[in-house]
Amino acid sequence: MFIEAYFQTAAHLFEQYEVQMPLHLFLKEYFRNNKKFGSRDRKYISELLYGIYRLGKANEHLRVRDRLMLGSFLSGRLPILFFEKVNKELANRYESSIEEKIAYAIEEYQCDFNVPFVLTNGISQDQFIKNLYSHPRVFIRIRKNHRAIEDKLIQQSVAFQRVSANCFSFDASVKLNEHLEPADYVIQDYASQLTGEHFKPQANESWWDCCTASGGKSIMLLDKNSAIQLTASDIRETILKNLHERMRVYGYESHYVSFNLDVTKDVSGKLKNKFDAIVCDAPCSGAGTWARSPEQYYFFTQEKLSHFMTLQSDIMQHVIGQLKPGGKLFYITCSVLKNENEDIMDAFIQEHPDYSYTTDCIDTTKLGGDMMYLAEVTQKA
- Res 1 pLDDT > 70: no
Give tens-digit pLDDT for 304-342.
999 999 999 999 999 999 999 999 999 999 999 999 999
Strands 256-260 and 161-164: unpaired
pLDDT value at residue 217: 96
Question: What is the rounded CA–CA span in Å between residue 371 and residue 8?
Answer: 34
Torsion of CA 290, 119, 218, 192, to 10 degrees: 60
H or E segment and range at residue 327:
strand 323-333
Dihedral (CA of 148, 152, 153, 154) sign: positive
Question: What is the rounded CA–CA span in Å between residue 342 and residue 126?
Answer: 20
Assign domain 190-379 to its CATH superfamily. Answer: Vaccinia Virus protein VP39 (3.40.50.150)
- Chain-centroid distance, C-alpha 57: 21
Torsion of CA 140, 145, 150, 151, to 10 degrees: -150
Domain ranges of the chain: 3-114, 138-186, 190-379
Give tens-digit pLDDT for 89-111.
999 999 999 999 999 999 999 99
Give tens-digit pLDDT for 215-272.
999 999 999 999 999 999 999 888 999 999 999 999 999 999 999 999 999 998 888 8
Strands lying side by side in the sheet with 161-164? 161-164, 167-170, 138-142, 185-187
Dihedral (CA of 184, 190, 194, 196) sign: negative
Question: What is the rounded CA–CA span in Å between residue 118 and residue 151?
Answer: 45
HSE of 227, CA atoms in CB hemisphere, 13 A? 4
Compute how many other C-beta atoms are within 10 angstroms of the C-beta atom of residue 377: 22
